Amino acid sequence: MEAINNPDPSKIQMTWIGHSSFLIQLDGFNFLTDPVFSDRCSPTSFVGPKRFRPLPLQLEDLPRIDFVVLSHNHYDHLDIKAVKYLKNTALWCIPKDLGTWFTKNGVDNFIEFNWWDKCVLHKSISVVFLPAQHWSKRTLTDNNHTLWGGFAILGKRKKIYFAGDTGYNEFAFKEIGNKFGPFDISLIPIGAYNPRDFLSPQHIGPDEAVIIHNELKSKKSIGIHWGTFALSNEHVFDPPREVEIELEKHGLEKDSFIVVKHGEMNKFDNKKKINDEDEEEAEDD
């Protein structure tokens, strides 16, 4: 808890809460990705996929949260428990047309995003909402009434990509990589992919995750959307094993795309890379 409450300003601190939920500490800001703190990702507390890894952090353990990036409204990504706890203390960056739901639940500190919309949250940090191949649904009658997508978080020196939930699209990720890459860290789904004939339009598997890692020009990727809720047919430990196989197939280093433990904090360098001109000046000095 000491590191969470007093993060090293020279590092990007990333703590995996589980599934698609990360606490990220960057450039003096604390933000969450798709925060889910309920025991079930379901409209009810007694039926639906149940968390089979305990929460490593409770909502009360969080530091001040400056903003939240929310990919879409499915129950394993949009959690009413987290919304009611954070309320208006955090700025919610949400997909287009989801504001009505937030307003009904007592939250009006939000910005709605269409694909490619960019918002400067502070002079040192911006977010961009990016396309994904997925869908939205919260009730029986609101199929695709709200948008979905991923986010680029652009800090002073480093760039982070959060995929949210997505199937593979051979154009979208190349375009994202060309527009905003290379990304320093990418959070890419690796779970909930079998059976492929049903899930491939909406969820990538480890093979496509590694392809996306390359198309984003990602320097380091972390697997998300696995190991927390049983949402599909693959074994819980298949995703990390499959990622390792795919990395070998593509001739990539094992540490270029990693998986982490629940509650594990990783620290990444947040220093500006010295360019050739700076190096020449440093030598002259």
pTM of the model: 0.94
pLDDT tens column, 240-285: 999 999 999 999 999 999 999 999 999 999 987 644 334 333 334 3
Residue 168: C-alpha distances to residues 63, 135, 173, 204, 251 (Å):
34, 13, 8, 6, 21
CA angle 256, 27, 210 (to 5 degrees): 20
Q: For residues 72 and 193, give the distance between their C-alpha atoms in angstroms, rounded to a whole number.
A: 18
The domain total for the chain is 1
Which pLDDT does position 271 carry in this prediction?
Answer: 86
Residue 24: C-alpha distances to residues 4, 265, 267, 269 (Å):
10, 10, 10, 13
The set of residues, in sequence order, having a beta carbon less than 8 Å from that of 166 and lying 6+ positions away, is 132, 133, 134, 150, 189, 202, 203, 204
Domain that holds residue 145: 2-284
Specify whether the CB–CB gap between 7 and 265 falls below 8 A. Answer: no
Specify whether the CB–CB gap between 24 and 14 falls below 8 A. Answer: yes
Q: Can you spell out the DSSP letters for 122-133?
A: ETTEEEEEE--B
Specify whether the CB–CB gap between 143 and 135 falls below 8 A. Answer: yes
CA torsion sign, 125 to 178 to 196 to 251?
Answer: negative
Question: Can you give the pLDDT of all 285 residues of the chain as single tens digits?
Answer: 788 999 998 999 999 999 999 999 999 999 999 999 999 999 988 889 999 999 999 999 999 999 999 999 999 999 999 999 999 999 999 999 999 999 999 999 999 999 999 999 999 999 999 999 999 999 999 999 999 999 999 999 999 999 999 999 989 999 999 999 999 999 999 999 999 999 999 999 999 999 999 999 999 999 999 999 999 999 999 999 999 999 999 999 999 999 999 999 999 999 876 443 343 333 343
CATH of the domain at 218: 3.60.15.10
Residue 37, Cβ density class (10 Å: 0-12 exposed, 13-18 middle, ≥19 buried): buried
Which pLDDT does position 278 carry in this prediction?
Answer: 41
